[in-house]
Homo-oligomer: A and B are copies of this chain.
Amino acid sequence: MLKIEQLVRCNRRLLQNVYPLVSGDFTSHCRKFSSNSENKNKNEFSYMNDSRNNKQYVLPLLSALGVSIGVGIYYFSNRNKRTLIAASPCTEVESLGGQPIRGLPLYTLKDVAKHSTKETRIWVTYNQGVYDITDFVDEHPGGSIIMMAAGGALDPFWLIYGLHKGTAILKMLETYRIGNLSQKEAKDNIKDVNDPYSADPKRHPALIVNLTRPFCAEPPSTILTESFITPAELFYVRNHLPVPEVDPAEYNLTIGGIGVKSTEMSLNDIKQFPKHTITATLQCAGNRRMEMAKVKPMKGLSWSVGAMGCATFSGAKLRDVLISLGYDECNTKAKHVQFEGLDLDPANNPYGASIPIEKAMDPKGDVLIAYEMNGMPLLPDHGFPVRMLVPGNAGARSVKWLGAITVAEEESNTHWQRIDYKGFSPSTEWENADFESAPAIQALPVTSAICDPTENDTVKVINGKITLKGYAWSGGGSKIVRVDITPDCGKTWYVADITNQETKNAPHHWSWSLWKAEIPIKTKDSSIEVWVKAVDSSFNTQPETFENTYNFRGVLANAYHRVRINLKH
């Protein structure tokens, strides 16, 4: 297994020489993913295999992103394996959607432009396809932002929201198809659009890429338990928009809202506040979606267990900053603190999210305006030069490339707050979901994972035992009090040793707990399934399966982690 130190060292010579990385122990890790490729729901997802043409995919990718061939090859080899495992309909498939269809009427861009309201019907184009999406706009998961494309082309928007270029969405789009556009006009639609992702930074090749635009990637799980502190280069990345280029000398944070004196702060201004360093685990609300997607296909990135990491973050306490600007804790009008990023969508609207005022102002809530990660300036992918850190909460609330803070009565108005990142009952679907009344995800539930071995690994039984390693964590400041492992589907449970854990007490314990378990093997079977569940300081534990906690967004996927391994007796 390639160790973290090697990987971080490798990163420095990435541009000079990446090829050697894709070899040895590290490629054996890749092979693990490859061996996962058995698709248990073949009928449901077989279209994904059919529609994939790796060469078609990887070549435009390389040119479009301008990354090195080494990274591309790594990406290709891993990416290919991941899509076979996952049930995500969000895979990028360039070959689908908007191909001319014989027998449909030919429209011009001028024709399309006449259809931009519900009254005139709402038309859009994608590639050479023309679509009447009037009946869809109210159901659009991203909300009214879709109306920006009304009477025009989707293509420039989807350059930013790359998530749309998945089989499921492209297929759904075709159900609204009404006509064709000429090849020339389709090209005109995108010829003046610069690649919004061209300024994205180089990434560490060890990251397993889930989506390139916006960039979303996780480290291999076996690396996660190597170190209590995850190196920033290997920390999962979940961007929602292109990475903005911010000059720290020009950096400006706008602060205002209820009970707060409107202010602009430079990076240096922020650094004048007492510097606090917090060790915290961040987790994407969609971590482990890959497992939940086995119940039913769903929208969202196909994360394995690695959309999670633990780092130290240093910065000013949001509480200190707000109080310095006159905020009075007895203020009862303020309910939320909204954050805006400097990352912009095609209409120049920033990424945004909010947290409840209770969390923001809790003297022990440790919400930071952070400018360092693991003692260094933030990396571009992690919010350089300034990001929020909201420990205990879903990663989506720790807004990166922080541009503005607003104390408000209402939650952030972005769809990331109001629509995305919400949990629903298993039988609720997009069509009948009441996004308005469902609460936004803030604190995350207890979870755990077996990081090493991974699915289908072969493990040697030594002195009648096998060794497992993994993580456990609970949101909201809860601390892990126990990790239980069973090698026989719950007949026998063993308590794992917690090998790394901070001493801080609940409910202000933000970091994860790493564990190790030596499990007696009493069977002579050639393979077993091992399960892990964690228990936190409120004695909450994980649900047993995903069937009864399924939600159509695939968030909050915290059921027992189950890994099938081969035994070498």
Contacts and interface: CB of A to CB of B under 8 A. Distances in A.
Interface stretch (A72-80, A126-134, A419-427): A419-427
Contacts of A558: 539
A482 interface: yes
B445 A539 contact: yes
A64 to B, nearest CB: 37
A539 B490 contact: no
Contact of A446 (B428, B481, B495, B540): B540
A506 interface: yes
Contact of A506 (B428, B443, B541): B443
Q: Could you say how many copies of this chain the assembly holds?
A: 2
A492 B427 contact: yes
B537 A427 contact: no
A423 B533 contact: no
B442 A537 contact: yes
A560 to B, nearest CB: 8
B505 A358 contact: yes
Report which residue of A476, A543, A549 has the largest number of chain B beta carbons within 10 angstroms of its beta carbon.
Answer: A476
B539 A423 contact: yes
A558 B490 CA distance: 18
A439 interface: yes
Interface in A529-569: 533, 535, 537-545, 547-549, 556, 558
A62 to B, nearest CB: 39
A222 B520 CA distance: 47
Contacts of A547: 490
A251 interface: no
Interface in A464-506: 474-476, 478, 481-482, 484, 486, 490, 492-495, 505-506
Contact of A537 (B443, B492, B533, B541): B443
A296 interface: no
A20 B380 CA distance: 77
Interface string A428-448: 100000000001011111100
Contact of A493 (B358, B425, B442, B541): B425
Counting contact residues on chain A (CB < 8 A from B), the size range is: 35 or more
Contact of A538 (B444, B494, B545): B444
Nearest to A427: B493
A411 to B, nearest CB: 12
Report which residue of A492, A541, A544 has the largest number of chain B beta carbons within 10 angstroms of its beta carbon.
Answer: A541
A508 interface: yes
A494 B427 contact: yes
A383 to B, nearest CB: 24
B538 A541 contact: no
B425 A356 contact: no
Contact of A544 (B494, B508, B545): B545
Nearest to A506: B443
Nearest to A541: B543
Contacts of A441: 539
Given A492-B427, A544-B548, A547-B490, A538 B475 contact: yes
A362 B484 CA distance: 31
B543 A556 contact: no
Report which residue of A362, A538, A544 has the largest number of chain B beta carbons within 10 angstroms of its beta carbon.
Answer: A538
A507 interface: yes
B537 A439 contact: yes
A509 B475 CA distance: 17
B356 A445 contact: no
A442 B539 CA distance: 9
Nearest to A555: B539
Contact of A539 (B358, B362, B425, B444): B444
Closest 4 interchain pairs by CB? A443-B538, A540-B540, A445-B540, A427-B493
19 contacts: A358-B507, A358-B508, A425-B493, A427-B492, A442-B538, A443-B506, A443-B507, A443-B538, A443-B539, A446-B540, A478-B538, A486-B548, A538-B540, A539-B556, A541-B543, A543-B543, A544-B544, A544-B545, A544-B548
Interface of A: 356, 358, 362-364, 423, 425-428, 439, 441-446, 474-476, 478, 481-482, 484, 486, 490, 492-495, 505-508, 533, 535, 537-545, 547-549, 556, 558
